[in-house]
Amino acid sequence: MSSNRSSSKEKQREEAYQQLIKKHRPKPKVFTNCLKAFVVGGLICIMGQALMLMYIKVFGFQPDKAGDPTSATLIFISCLLTGIGVYDRIGQWAGAGTAVPVTGFANSIASSALEHRAEGWVLGVGGNMFKLAGAVIVFGTVSAFIIGIIHTLMEMIK
């Protein structure tokens, strides 16, 4: 009987505690966070478009071939900013705006590599870097394979 009383008191305390937490929890600023993400993600995309136009106009790339060096440059800039600690500060402020473009993926890989560099190049950097990237690489490869088979079958049907 006393255990029932103590458990009901514990439940009441827990409910009171949860209500207190709910009362003092800061309200999320959804609109502001979405606006920050939109602006920063858009700026990254504008920078990518400017780089692409530079590769076309200055270096004479064909428009259909300029995407490769553009992506590589964005990835390089993201890794460089991650290494000097700037990208993480931008990411904390902008949220998903930095995570969605290819620069966000590069940041996550570079961060993982930096975090585990004390464990050595192979087991630390290489092993932990690809724990994160492995799932993305496998999913991309399998998806490309399946789409390739579907495309080939569609071509054979024609």
Spatial separation of the C-alpha atoms in residues 112 and 91, rounded to whole Å: 15
Which band of pLDDT confidence, cut at 50, 70 and 90, is reported for residue 4? low
* Structure tokens that stand for 113 in this block: 């590599």
pLDDT in tens, 113-144: 888 777 777 777 777 777 777 777 888 899 99
Kindly state the DSSP code that residue 100 receives in the 8-state scheme: S
* Structure tokens that stand for 8 in this block: 């009901």
Which band of pLDDT confidence, cut at 50, 70 and 90, is reported for residue 5? low
Spatial separation of the C-alpha atoms in residues 116 and 89, rounded to whole Å: 20
Which band of pLDDT confidence, cut at 50, 70 and 90, is reported for residue 84? very high
pLDDT value, residue 127: 76
Q: Which of 2-16, 66-80, 82-96 bottoms out in mean pLDDT, i.e. has the lowest?
A: 2-16
CA 144 to chain centre: 21
Spatial separation of the C-alpha atoms in residues 138 and 147, rounded to whole Å: 14
pLDDT in tens, 20-67: 888 888 888 889 999 999 999 999 999 999 999 999 999 999 999 999
Q: Answer yes or no: is pLDDT of 94 > 80.
A: yes
What pTM does this model have? 0.69
What is the average per-residue pLDDT within 80-92? 92
Q: Which of 11-20, 31-40, 81-90 bottoms out in mean pLDDT, i.e. has the lowest?
A: 11-20
